[in-house]
Amino acid sequence: MNLRDLCSQLLKKTLIIVILAVAVVVIVFPQTASALCIQPDEEGSWRNTDPQTRSITRVELRFVCQDQILNGQPYPPGPPWYHKRYTKI
């Protein structure tokens, strides 16, 4: 065997050891998945631009981040968004 063959074999063995070490670390120390809840652009207070309206004058929207599943249901429980309407009397 010449030097080139020895280096090639050593490189292959080192690569296999590194791949196995990475696989063991990934299996033994798993990372938990985390979701990212981004506030939608629609959230906030919306006002009617028509001052003569006889209907809804303002709406407040609030969204709830339901990024977890508990027993097959979104968590926290309830609707994913809430609204409050203000009208002219």
Q: Which domain holds residue 64?
A: 34-89
Specify the residue for token string 């002219």: 88
Closest C-alpha to 60, from 32, 83, 40, 39: 83
Q: What is the pLDDT of residues 38-65, one digit of tens each?
A: 888 889 999 999 888 888 999 999 998 8
Angle at 81 between CA 76 and CA 86, to 5 degrees: 135
pLDDT value of position 35: 59
Structurally, the chain folds into a number of domains equal to 2
Write down the pLDDT at residue 41.
87
pLDDT at 89: 72
Q: Are residues 18 and 58 in the same domain?
A: no
* Average pLDDT for the chain: 86
Whether 28 has a pLDDT exceeding 90, the answer reads no
In the chain, pLDDT over 70 holds for what percent of residues? 96
Kindly state whether residues 40 and 70 are assigned to the same domain.
Answer: yes
